[in-house]
């Protein structure tokens, strides 16, 4: 398992959920382009190293 810090200026940590494709984070900077749309960025899990 790993850890990554995300900027709260870009991402809203109160709007996060898991889906089969990965971790979904709400993007503040992309939300400003339209109030009727929710912009999410999906981060897929990847295998690093030998297990």
- Report the chain's C-alpha Rg in angstroms: 13
| Region class of 22: left (phi > 0), else alpha (psi between -120 and 50), else beta | left
| Rounded-to-integer distance, Cα 45 and Cα 37, Å | 25
Does the structure show a pLDDT above 70 at 51?
A: no
In this prediction the pTM is 0.63
| Mean pLDDT computed over every residue of the chain | 79
Name the residue among 44, 17, 45, 42 with its Cα closest to residue 30.
Answer: 42
Percent of the chain with pLDDT over 70: 82
- Which pLDDT score is estimated for 30? 66
- Which pLDDT score is estimated for 31? 56
Phi, psi of 29 (to 5 degrees): -70, -30
- Which pLDDT score is estimated for 20? 92
Query: Could you state, in order of their start, the residue ranges of all structural domains in the chain?
Result: 1-50
């Amino acid at each position: 398992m790993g850890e990554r810090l995300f900027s709260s200026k870009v991402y809203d940590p109160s709007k996060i959920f898991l889906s089969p494709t990965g971790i979904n984070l709400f993007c503040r900077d992309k939300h400003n382009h339209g109030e009727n749309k929710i912009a999410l960025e999906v981060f897929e899990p990847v295998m690093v190293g030998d297990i």
